[in-house]
Amino acid sequence: MSIPLPKLRELREAFRSLFSAPYTTRFPYAPVEPVDGFRGKPEFSEEHCVGCGACAQVCIGNAIKMIDPEEPVKKPENAVRKMEVRFDMCNFCGNCQAHCITEKGIQLTKIFDLSCFDRKLAVESIEKELIVCELCNSIITTRDHLKWLIRRLGTLAYGNPTLLLVNQRELIPVESGKPAEDLRRPDILKVLCPRCRQTVMVKDIWG
């Protein structure tokens, strides 16, 4: 009785594998380096993230959260935005990295060994200082986000009083001051949210 050709091939492979090195890695007994382009744990960069929140909007796994204080903000001088990423909810799609406005604010690392017993530990966050409207205490955005806009706009940033003041206050202390109840022309030069700025401009034009 002759052995069919496919069976002979299988036998040859079986003998060969007996004397060759294992195909699978020895992980977790030995470290393993994932291939280039591997999508692992997403991590924020303290240096490059400006806290704009774009990644939270495009995250399809609902793994990224942008956590702001309640408005109107009670203590504007201490207000921070928390950017949080839950890697137990991440599906490693790469949307956050692809749409990050600075391109390096969040990166999918090569870290893949993410299992843990307590899901509360599967979270990382960074905090960014918030800029708050000097009139109504609503949130404008983070200081780093405005500074990123200023760098992108160059001299055009001087056309916007909020950007101008955020920039100038880095160089020389400029008294912020509270706008008067009844908005007046000088209030244009305050750090204001778009709604308050519109109110000031309309009052300036129409009285």
Q: Is 183 in the site for ligand SF4 (CB under 6 A)?
A: no
Within 8 A by CB and 6+ apart from 134, the residues are 176, 177, 178, 179, 190, 191, 192
Task: Tell me the C-alpha to C-alpha distance, in Å, between residue 48 and each of 97, 105, 139, 145.
Answer: 12, 5, 21, 10
- Cβ proximity to ligand SF4: between 58 and 188 the closer is 58
- Cβ proximity to ligand SF4: between 13 and 103 the closer is 103
The answer to whether the CB of 105 falls within 8 A of the CB of 44 is yes
**Which single residue is written with the structure tokens 């999508």?**
39
Q: Residue type for 207, please?
A: G
Please identify which residue in 73, 90, 139, 166 interacts with ligand SF4, judged by CB under 6 A: 90
Residue whose beta carbon is closest to ligand SF4 = 105
Q: Is 131 in the site for ligand SF4 (CB under 6 A)?
A: no
CB of 196 to ligand SF4, least distance (A): 24
Q: Is 54 in the site for ligand SF4 (CB under 6 A)?
A: yes
Please identify which residue in 79, 83, 149, 196 interacts with ligand SF4, judged by CB under 6 A: 83
Q: Is 149 in the site for ligand SF4 (CB under 6 A)?
A: no
Task: Tell me the C-alpha to C-alpha distance, in Å, between residue 146 and each of 84, 128, 157.
Answer: 20, 12, 10
Residues binding ligand SF4 (CB under 6 A):
42, 44, 49-55, 59-61, 63-64, 83, 85, 90-96, 100-102, 105-106, 108
